[in-house]
Amino acid sequence: MFEVSTPNAPRPAGHYAQAIVHDRTVYVSGQLAIDPQSGERRLGSIEEQTEQALQNVAAILDAAGSSIRSVLKTTVYVSDIRLWERVNAVYARFFGDHRPARAVVPTRELHYGFQVEIEAVAALKESR
């Protein structure tokens, strides 16, 4: 079991690691649309928020020795289910022909006013 830490994804703003690896599985913390370089919140359109959250997930997976193509399951928290089609359009383009298991969870407004948060469980490419 080890902690993943990369400058290519937002520095944790609270008491959590970007991801933890155990056996051959990576547990990625819920990601928001925060710019990894500046640390700024990107409270733009829902499409921009979704893209940035997914890029953060991808950067963490790469650092963990996994990748977006090895995602097993995502949980997508969205502040209003009426945004869903727009989230899904970005999500589908981002994952391409890889289709992880998924749950979609309508929440109240997310932390810092974000509209989407994405967490993931992924496989390592190889056993470690």
* List of residues contacting its own copies (CB under 8 A): 1, 3, 12, 14-20, 22-25, 27-30, 70, 72-73, 75, 77, 80-81, 84, 88, 91-92, 95, 99-111, 117, 119, 121, 123
- Report, in Å, the least distance between residue 77 CB and its own copies: 6
- Report, in Å, the least distance between residue 113 CB and its own copies: 9
Nearest CA to 63 out of 93, 36, 90, 41 is that of: 36
Query: Which residues on neighbouring strands pair with residue 4, listed in sequence order?
Result: 19
- Report, in Å, the least distance between residue 103 CB and its own copies: 3
Structure tokens at 23: 């056996």
The CA distance from 67 to 25, in Å, is 12
